[in-house]
Amino acid sequence: MGAGATGRAAAVDRRGRDGANVSRLLFVEDEPQLLRAMGITLRARGFEVRTAVDGRHALAEAASCPPDLIVLDLGLPDMDGVEVIQGLRGWTRIPIIVLSGRTSGQDKVAALDAGADDYVTKPFSIDELMARIRAVTRRASATEAGPVVNIGRYRIDLAEKRVSRQDDAGVGDPGSLTDPGSLTTAGEDGPRSLRLTPTEWRLLEALVRHPGKLVSHRQLVNQVWGPGVAEDSSSLRLYINKLRRKLEPDPTRPRYLTTEPGMGYRFQP
């Protein structure tokens, strides 16, 4: 078994024992010894650990390889950790645990108000940090379990990343996040299940998690492609049209994925 497979197996095993639904963790810290020590410790506990030594690196890393959880120091060399939290919260709900030597109530309130999920002060024990990770990820799982929504004849299960025809629920091979194909078994009334690409899934989730709400072009680009990506209305329109062709009863007259000209898109339940 290769090193990558071994690491993934260890992560699955550790999640089962620790009860934390986390495998990929981004650790942001500018103190080299602590960063190295925590990387070793967390990897030994089955995590896939990526690191960043400053705020800009952290934001770029989170966008290019989204983790399941972020552990973040506030005292970074290029920007304050609260700014990093605000930057992340502009496009993601990834759980964030602050790990900082700042002990004042004002610092804690500022970090939590910016969107941090928990705050651990230094010095700390690894057992305490693991307990906080478990608690935060349990809360995240409870709030983001993923609803089941209906679009036309299709049932969208966001938690399982599956799309199936409602009259054939549980029949056939449901579409998945990782399968890049388009359609599967077709019948007289259309395909029995759909396969969406990862980009299509992210776009669909960004819309259906806010039923009836206008989601701007900029918000969709941030959530689908990450911050720092130039707003590209043509690419966004292309993927919206792909979803409509797969999900709408009449893609030329969309009923569920509607356009607000010049502003964005809306999921109409």
Map tokens 């910016």 to a residue: 114
- Among 92, 93, 30, which Cα is nearest to 56's? 30
How far is the C-alpha of 23 from the C-alpha of 15, rounded, in Å? Answer: 7
Query: Domains of the chain by range and CATH?
Result: 3-143 (3.40.50.2300), 148-267 (1.10.10.10)
Q: Beta strand pairing status for 24-28 and 48-52?
A: parallel
- The 8-class DSSP code of residue 229 comes to P
pLDDT in the model for residue 141: 61
pLDDT in the model for residue 255: 94
Written as tens digits, the pLDDT of the chain (269 aa) is: 444 444 444 443 444 344 345 689 999 999 999 999 999 999 999 999 999 999 999 999 998 888 999 999 999 999 999 999 988 987 888 899 999 999 888 888 889 888 888 999 999 999 999 999 988 887 766 555 456 888 888 888 877 778 888 765 443 333 333 333 333 333 344 455 678 898 999 899 888 877 777 888 888 888 788 766 776 778 899 999 999 999 999 999 999 999 988 788 989 88
Which residues touch 33 (CB under 8 Å, ≥6 apart)? Answer: none
Residue burial 204-242, b: 16+ Cβ < 10 Å; e: rest: bbbbbbeeeeebebebbbbbbbbbeeeeeeeebeebbeb
How far is the C-alpha of 33 from the C-alpha of 47, rounded, in Å? Answer: 19
Cα distances from 240 to residues 27, 48, 83, 195, 249, in angstroms, run 35, 33, 32, 15, 14
pLDDT in the model for residue 85: 93
pLDDT in the model for residue 8: 42
How far is the C-alpha of 6 from the C-alpha of 42, rounded, in Å? Answer: 15
How far is the C-alpha of 150 from the C-alpha of 249, rounded, in Å? Answer: 12
**Tokens, residue 269:** 């339940």
Residue burial 145-167, b: 16+ Cβ < 10 Å; e: rest: eeeebebeebbbbbeebbbbbee
**Tokens, residue 194:** 């759909």
Q: Is 151 left (phi over 0), alpha (psi -120 to 50) or beta?
A: beta
C-alpha angle 147-152-158 in degrees, rounded to nearest 5: 20
pLDDT in the model for residue 218: 82
